[in-house]
Structure 1
């Protein structure tokens, strides 16, 4: 009698990946590139300087165990941001605002869920592509879960809308300051050049994402048993409100406060360089405003906030452990070795294959370097001279980086924002992987075709430097 295979808990999967990374530090040759410090304070690798480490670092089992609390500490900014958002949303829910909003949206989209799905994917893609929003979507997850439940859909549909918009927005960004601007600056081409192609690709890729989510949603509408999350508890606590409260003035004020909070966050990110500490502060302010407008007393507000935080304890652990994978590889001096090993073969293939290879490489490396800007500083200086050598214009190198970093944000478990979103919705990672992997394959096929055509039509030739030799691209970063 054969036993049915049971997929391990997401925490076990992440710890397993940490263990694989730990074992790899004993097998993979340890090495590093020289780095330079740029004017903006970030470090960038210097191509052509890779060398094997003279002193080998052997991580002990204690190092592995210590890496877990270290990883939690390293991810503390997003962990505490998630805690704050969860607590503040619990306050908002106690005022009845979320239920009232769901009722209002049901009146508008209840008979047309396809329009809702398209608008969410479209709007989130625009926001991510324009200003690099990501963690800011976490407050909307439970609202969309409740809305999908009322439409006879499921939590997977809600997560699909959010993450698909987020990933496609990053992958096809026209002017994301955290990816496009940095990558083009480091590669030595004008910032925001080549924008026409990226704008032209936006709608087709959004439609690919929308079609994937809507196809799944249709299956759930036709047969609730087709839901991938049918056996999971509802993240809303099993509430099944038959009638929703009317959207009153106090609810509208709370929603206005949320809109103002998000708008302030967008302004702060783009104009003041804010990140999660500042965002957490303004969400706390929204929580206080919500409690006052919603007429909640101090004790009730505190109790609801703590309950919201408690509900996200599992999510916080997943986010922290996910950070540990890259931490182990950095400690074991194999991160640069993997980058070098992946980039080296590209110098021996044709330009079309090399462009697709760069895309695949960036996709794989996003597992180990989940920061988009961090990945740009590590990989773009290495791939730019490779592209110069094999005939891949620097604009195409940047495009391959965008595709690889952006699309894989939707599936790599080391992405803290992704783990926060699926954790908020109560969707285990292995189920999300089953949902998202077919979409990833569709996007990768489309992106590979775009890269091959870009090489064929010499995309980026207008800004390609006139190179007499393969100069160190770090020279061009001095102007950053």
Structure 2
């Protein structure tokens, strides 16, 4: 019986979703909205212009096969960033810095894991909320897995801390330039308006994420057989060090250089528009620096880097295939049809239900449009005027978009960052789904309550465009 219910390998799940997407392109009406260029040069759909194609274009199984290498090309920035980070962290581990840091953290937090879990969830959520960090968390994965292993916790706990912070930060974002800024500009409400509500709900939502991870940790601590990772080997294998070295001066210098590296990355993102290519270059520079500080020979540095990269080849494959699902939907011209079809029922229900409906639609669509900014350009030109018709303030429509995009980032297999984190930690997607689904449900319920209250109390009416809806 257990064999019958066994979840397939993550790669098989992703390939199955690609096949399902291909079949959907044969059944769902093909159509499109007219598009226009935004001030930033991005394509944005025009509301009320949806039309079906004159003649259906059928994708073939050959298109499915060729979509896989095309998907690798489309996801190359994430793939190479993950491989580079894996190689550089292998160099850092060879210097003994990671083990020394873990030993120091165990001294301070070993008997109070709840404090560590809250700090990680809160800090990652704060970073995502303010500057939209996501792929930047990948360097922390193996460090937290090693720390959790030393604390007799499992890799699921490490991933839970990272992804809960990442998803909740995006969902209740206060300043995220990739989601809040773009969505508010499209909805024609003042940039960063409504800040007070997003700040007010930040800590309560972080506490929901913390409680979910901590509850699981307690269950595993009381009964190790309750761990979801019992049947999965640790990605660190025998690399864990039973004796943790003292945090020496060279280790402190390497850690200090890591903080400087992160600072340079944040500066580049905020002021220069850097993303994964530039961040990869920054981490390569850090790898060269720590090899010097750690007194590693050139040959040993090269061997360690290649070893770290080779450990993440499986992860790279999963990231590439995950991108293929959205490619099939785009090629089959049904992405706009899905958006159009899901938005139609909202005009027949109350404003409060419509707000929840917007949340559900944004959650579902994030599976097909895993880019936060891309989803804003496709959905917000439709949701903003639709909200005018059904009595949902545009500010609430933006909030529904944030919730739907951010929270579902934690579970959708088309999210390349999520697949990278899971792959590095050695957590199968099926195991993660079982862990994360209850958390997603809790967050969706809380988000629905916030949206209903926001509509009832007129959140955003003070900045509603005066020429609309009157």
TM range (shorter): over 0.9
In structure 2, C-alpha distance between the alignment counterparts of 1:340 and 1:213, rounded to whole Å = 37
The Cα shift of 1:225 comes to: 1.1
1:240 offset after TM fit, Å? 3.9
Q: Which residue of 1 aligns with 2:184?
A: 184
1:74-473 equivalent positions in 2, closer than 5 A: 74-467=74-467
Segments of 5+ residues of structure 2 without an aligned counterpart are none
Aligned to 2:368, the other structure's residue is in SS state coil
- Corresponding residue of 2:41: 41
- Is residue 2:5 matched to residue 1:29? no
CA contact (8 A) 2:121 2:164 kept: yes
Query: CA contact under 8 A between 2:359 and 2:403: conserved in structure 1?
Result: yes
User: What's the Cα RMSD here?
Assistant: 1.1
Shift of 1:223: 1.2
Quick check: 270-279 or 224-233, which moved more? Answer: 224-233
CA distance in 2, matches of 1:381, 1:264: 35
Question: CA offsets, 1:225-280, max 9 Å, x none?
Answer: 11111221111123342220011111111111111111111111111100010000
CA distance in 2, matches of 1:156, 1:2: 21
1:344 CA displacement:
1.2
* Unpaired segments ≥5 residues, structure 1: 471-480
The number of residues matched between the two structures is 470
Any conservation in 1 of the 2:422–2:428 contact (CA below 8 Å)?
yes
**TM-score by structure 1 length?**
0.97
| Bigger shift: residues 35-44 or 24-33 | 35-44
Task: State the alpha-carbon separation in 2 of the partners of residues 4 and 365 from structure 1.
Answer: 31
Q: Distance in 1 between matches of 2:467 and 2:403?
A: 26
Stretch moving more, 178-187 or 460-469? 460-469
The C-alpha deviation readout for 1:421-472, integer Å capped at 9, x for no partner, is 01100000000000000000000000000000000101001001123569xx
- Which has the larger displacement, 428-437 or 221-230? 221-230
TM-score by length of 2: 0.99
1:272-328 residue CA offsets vs partner (Å, 9 max, x unmatched): 100010000000000000101000111111111011110000000100000000000
- 2:389, 2:469 within 8 Å by CA — same for their partners in 1? no
Shift of 1:3: 5.2
User: Which secondary structure does the structure 1 equivalent of 2:126 belong to?
Assistant: helix
| Greater than 6 Å deviation, 4+ residue runs | none
| Offset at residue 4 of structure 1 (A) | 3.5
